[in-house]
Amino acid sequence: MTERINTLVCTFDPASPCITAHDIHEWIYVTLRLPDSDVHTLQINGFRRQVYIKVTNIEIVQIVLHKTGGQIEYKYPTRQVSTVNLAMAFLGII
């Protein structure tokens, strides 16, 4: 078990096509601009269409939320665009 601290939750549109784990990794690096050194752990919840990104410190979560205003786009290779909601994950043990 691990605690959900310093964690950003990204909720993808449930009506959008599925995304591969590789595409999620690339999106985090290119769109969210999080280098690998800042990302501690990823957890993908396909059923809820959520990605939990645990980072090295809370300031990174706050910076991402401030820069994006809590929403950002995911652009599919088919040029379809989907809105992704960003939030700080609730504290607790998973």
Q: What is the CATH number of the domain that holds 39?
A: 3.30.70.330
Domain interval for residue 63: 7-88
Domain contains 39:
yes
pLDDT band at 93 (very low <50, low <70, confident <90, very high): very low
Check residue 46 and give its pLDDT: 86
Structural domain count of the chain: 1
Residues 41 and 3 sit within 8 Å (Cβ to Cβ): no
* Alpha carbon of residue 12 to chain centroid: 9
Q: Is the pLDDT reported for residue 75 higher than 60?
A: yes
Q: Which residues pair with 75 in a beta bridge?
A: 81
Q: Is residue 18 part of a domain?
A: yes
For residue 24, being part of any structural domain is answered with yes
